[in-house]
Structure 1
Amino acid sequence: MAQLIQIKPRGLISEKLSLREGERLIRYTQSICPECNRLLEAIVLERENKVFMRKVCPEHGEIEELYFGSYKMYERFSAYWKDGKGTLAPNVPMERCMCPYNCGLCSNHLSHSGLANIIVTNRCDLTCWYCFFYVKKGLEGAYVYEPTIEQIVEMVRMLRSERPVPGNSVQITGGEPTLREDLIDIIKAIKNEGIDHIQLNTNGITIALKGPEYAIALRKAGVSNLYLSFDGVTPKTNPKNHWEVPYVLDACRKAGLGVVLVPTVIKSINDHELGLIIRFAQRNMDIVRAVNFQPVSLTGRLTKSEREKYRITIPDCIKRIEEQTEGEITEEDWFPVPSCTPLSDFIQFLTKKPKYELSIHFACGAGTYVFKDDETNKLVPITRFVDIKGLIEFLEEEVEEMKSGRPRLVSLGRFVLKLKSFIDESKEPKGLKFAEAIADVVIKHSYEAVGRLQLKSLFLGMMHFQDKYNQDEERLQRCDIHYLTPDLRIIPFCSFNVIPEFYRDRIQQKYGIPVEEWERKTGRKLEDGLYRGVLRRGKHHPNCGCDLANYKVTKEVLQPSCACSTIHSSKIGAATVSN
């Protein structure tokens, strides 16, 4: 496994950072003060099988924050820590960076862009209480930020100039991107610059209102999939688009446009529905390709008790999923994102060409694949029939041998011969042919093979973005989700949003216009774009998900616990679940 490399303390560590009874030091790092943004020495420590960060600001005192909800999982995930390729064409070239004050990317950044976000507007048709991003009328210094197509093209060209791996994956985001009337033209312009994968981050309301024709237009313009906000299966947990999501899925089915469901997970608000969200995705696996859970980032001034009320970490979410799926998906089924780098390294050495690698910090994200067993209707995690750890170790060994001079064809032959030994075909879902698909990916570099797997699987992911309370320079330096900006910088997500006064707000002020000026120019009021709940009148769509919440899981079937049919336009059959 990769060697763990860490930031070392620059000088004397404050006595206030010394360990206390029952604590164990894991590593040193650097962080910022959530009040004044001062760069601070910090320690990451273990206490009672949980991981915490502690830092002390000379002016604002001690800040301690839950970092990772399970030390056992932290230790297992840390085995996959890896430094990435970085960038050979930094926007901020410098011998010694002052992270996080000069992001853009700098010479010391350790990961290339895995996904580049382009904000096309900061207007939104919703006003979600936990969202920090949309422009709010009436606030001093409120600006509407909407870069021109020409500016967007220049941003994409900067992404494509990254080396050794030119960026080729973009997420169009906001605000709500579908409020841009020229969105189709924006998508086409991005696609014309050689971007292979375009993801549209949306609440889906415009698509629900406009229907399949709009979804088809998005797909034809170049959108690969929707990144669809979805916080729960009931109106209480998902008031933003509970009524609209089923219509979005209907439109995407007709358009052949895949969907990723994206729940923002907030402790005490919707963390009791993570299993039901997966059940909803399972029921719609013909069009839902993934669920990407995002534990909430806490913004603003919050007391410690307030943070404890809402703070949830990746291990906490994984534990709840195990409980709420009654053990169908366990914590051992999850691997950190950088665990996939041995496969990309193996392909890179075979082809002698730099390949995409997801070299983010192991605490940033995790994932697993699940497959549906058509006979039992159960979800079968990939770890049930593939020895993932053994396969990773084999690939790492082969990469080291190729580095030492072993001919590539010898390693390729060994891969073909050994691959099936890591797969228990007796436990493999019928018709999957996993070994054949993986061989096509490695040998033929076949996107079609990846597509075949996607159609038979559901990817479950976790991505925990940082905030000022748990900000960690070790994680920031390895970030591979970046923002493209009109000043032609490429800024890591957890700088852009964690310190908005340095990055997001300053950039949007510089390249945006005051709300009042925007209203004069367009002849519209900002609030005119707010959604008026057209689809929330009358009965719910039959696929809204309420029935999942109102059914109780037993060993035989999801049993009804209330008269759910009274609020639906038609009944839905209960999804069977076997244990």
Structure 2
Amino acid sequence: MDNQPDQSLHDHSLPTYTAAHLVTPLRQKKDADFVFFELTRSICPVCRRVIDAHILLRHNKVYMRKRCPDHGVFEGLVYGDAQAYTSAARFNKPGTIPLAYSTAIERGCPHDCGLCPDHQQHACLGIIEVNSACNMDCPLCFANAGAGFNLTLEEVEDILDHLVETEGNPEVVQFSGGEPSIHPQIIEMITAAKARNIRHVMLNTNGKRIADDDAFLAQLAPLKPSIYFQFDGFEAETYRLLRGEPDILPQKLRALDRLAEIGAHVVLVPAIDPNVNLHEVGAIVSFGLKHPAVRGINFQPAFQSGRHGVSDPMQRLTIPDILKAMQEQTSDLLMVSDFVPVPCCFPTCNSVTYVLNDGDTVLPLTRLLNVDDYLDYISNRAVLDLSDTIKTALEGLWSSSAVAGSDKAAQQFALSCAACDLPDGLDLGAFAKNIFMIMLQDFMDPWTFNQKNLMKCCKEILLPDGKQIPFCAYNNVGYREQARHQLQARERQRNQAKRAGLPYTPEPLTFSFEQK
């Protein structure tokens, strides 16, 4: 037998190249035009199915790209400054655990709200939408306000009691809607919140009733709620496009003057659209700094929810865009570098600065304080000369629960000034009362919905039966539509039982989500 090995099984000879092979260039690999930053979870903008999402950095901007098996690929702009977005991670401080949770983990985020044990933050700000009706019909309305439901005083008292149960001493509760000022029991509701020692009670309003109703203004005066005041600019075209009422500005100005007369503290809340009123940001700041009732401004980029019309998700307005406009329009009175992330929620959701505004001086406090020294929880850098009391005070200022013009904010800043090189003998109390807050709040829409951000949300919609639902889940996942339908049915059934002289016990609110 021939024992020679089969050479064909061990033929390692190299392939033969012709001259043509030698002159043909090899194909070159190319880099992507983006950096893959992280993987998260989001929703399909069409069917709201939970899907994977990529966070991408491209041309110093942040985008989200995701694919739904049924509806294809979607991409939207998340943040207008990639460097600021990535560096904000150091402001991501540990969350505070609530005293009690309201729901169990069954289906997973975002379908177990809440708050469920997977949530990573307590409720800094509790929002109670006391009605769905409104005395305006804004094209921009994220809540799609209209006829529907009014919560009863008893329902609101139960909501407040549950908030106390989960928070102990709640920081802020805000009455919203619809337009809460037209609810027939809104004064009793504000009184009920005050009676539960909730530190700050806010009324979210368009100002119409305050402008024209003397009796209502007189009822508000002794309660002194903070007023969260819709104010989008000064041009008739701004109000025509955003609110459907081009001539409403004089009424708003009258409301603000009347609030000043009763000593109310006001936060202006401009909704900023890039094609409508971005050019008015500087004028709003200048006006707010001078008006005696205004203690702060909360700029909010318009987001696609409710009645907001269809817009290009790749052209969204984000916090850095407003900051750049503010710096340009105030001639560097306020600069992008004056603002820092709010660390209690996910850091890129909010930016804030506090300004000394005593009539002669406008000075951002971030130019006095190295905020990184107090809020850099990622590196855990020790600040040896900072007492726990001062640190707590600073955390309170740079928090979503801080309320412009409040005694708490004044006290906290008076404490924090001990860490600054301020003149001896300075009346810190008087100094602190001249502090003006400027905040920017970016809400997610179906194109930018990020489960990671949601799990750190500290702004919760408070519902009857004890559920506390993060704001961006409530507006994007399907909670709002289901809650409104059930609350409207409750009111109808309650009225039917009342007319028949029968008792009425409502069914608990329930939420269902189809997942393929």
CA distance in 1, matches of 2:31, 2:47: 26
Q: Is contact 1:90–1:107 with CA below 8 Å preserved after alignment?
A: yes
CA distance in 2, matches of 1:491, 1:37: 17
Q: Deviations over 1:383-416 (max 9, x none)?
A: 23333334545995458x8xxxxxxxx9639979
Aligned AA (1:511): L
- CA shift, 1:181, in A, is 1.9
In the other structure, the counterpart of 1:243 is 250
The alignment status of 1:412 with 2:380, answered yes or no, reads no
Q: Is contact 1:365–1:463 with CA below 8 Å preserved after alignment?
A: yes
- Structure with max Cα Rg: 2
In the other structure, the counterpart of 1:258 is 265
In the other structure, the counterpart of 2:414 is 437
Identity of aligned residues (%): 30
The alignment status of 1:156 with 2:139, answered yes or no, reads no
Q: Is contact 1:97–1:106 with CA below 8 Å preserved after alignment?
A: no
Change in 2 beyond 3 A, CA 1:304/1:64:
farther
Q: Is contact 1:322–1:328 with CA below 8 Å preserved after alignment?
A: yes
Q: Is contact 1:199–1:226 with CA below 8 Å preserved after alignment?
A: yes
In the other structure, the counterpart of 1:233 is 234
Q: Is contact 1:87–1:107 with CA below 8 Å preserved after alignment?
A: no
CA distance in 2, matches of 1:413, 1:189: 33
Map 1:132-147 → 2, pairs under 5 A: 132-136=142-146, 144-147=148-151
1:194 aligned to 197, 202, 223, which one? 197
CA distance in 2, matches of 1:134, 1:226: 22
In the other structure, the counterpart of 1:306 is 312
CA distance in 2, matches of 1:393, 1:198: 30
Map 1:32-431 → 2, pairs under 5 A: 32-94=43-105, 98-136=108-146, 144-162=148-166, 166-211=169-214, 214-221=216-223, 223-239=224-240, 240=243, 241-284=248-291, 286-299=292-305, 306-308=312-314, 311-338=316-343, 359-372=344-357, 374-375=359-360, 379-392=362-375, 397-398=381-382, 412=387
- CA shift, 1:369, in A, is 1.2
Match of 1:297, SS state, is coil
In the other structure, the counterpart of 1:508 is 484
Q: Deviations over 1:286-339 (max 9, x none)?
A: 210100001111137999963345x2001111111111111111111110001x
Change in 2 beyond 3 A, CA 1:32/1:450:
farther
Q: Is contact 1:200–1:227 with CA below 8 Å preserved after alignment?
A: yes
Match of 1:244, SS state, is helix
The alignment status of 1:491 with 2:497, answered yes or no, reads no
- Runs of 4+ more than 4 Å apart: 300-305, 391-399, 413-416, 433-436, 439-442, 449-454, 513-522
CA distance in 2, matches of 1:120, 1:302: 22
Change in 2 beyond 3 A, CA 1:390/1:412:
closer
Aligned AA (2:453): R
Aligned AA (2:185): D
Q: Deviations over 1:172-219 (max 9, x none)?
A: 0000011112211111122222322100000000000014x5334214
Change in 2 beyond 3 A, CA 1:515/1:191:
closer
- CA shift, 1:25, in A, is 1.6
- CA shift, 1:120, in A, is 1.0
In the other structure, the counterpart of 2:399 is none
Change in 2 beyond 3 A, CA 1:58/1:304:
farther
In the other structure, the counterpart of 2:27 is none
CA distance in 1, matches of 2:490, 2:413: 56
Unaligned 5+ residue runs, structure 2?
A: 1-29, 395-409, 420-426, 499-516
- Cα RMSD (Å) of the superposition? 3.3
Q: Is contact 2:104–2:112 with CA below 8 Å preserved after alignment?
A: no
My pick for the range that moved more, 248-257 or 293-302, is 293-302
Unaligned 5+ residue runs, structure 1?
A: 1-18, 137-142, 339-358, 402-409, 420-432, 443-448, 523-579
- CA shift, 1:438, in A, is 2.2
Change in 2 beyond 3 A, CA 1:486/1:453:
farther
Match of 1:512, SS state, is helix
CA distance in 1, matches of 2:328, 2:375: 28
Q: Deviations over 1:57-92 (max 9, x none)?
A: 111111110000001211232221233023341111
> Size of the alignment, in residue pairs?
438
Change in 2 beyond 3 A, CA 1:206/1:415:
closer
CA distance in 2, matches of 1:122, 1:110: 29
CA distance in 2, matches of 1:279, 1:168: 29
Aligned AA (1:507): A
- CA shift, 1:246, in A, is 1.4
Q: Is contact 2:305–2:475 with CA below 8 Å preserved after alignment?
A: no
- CA shift, 1:379, in A, is 2.6
- CA shift, 1:360, in A, is 0.4
My pick for the range that moved more, 388-397 or 168-177, is 388-397
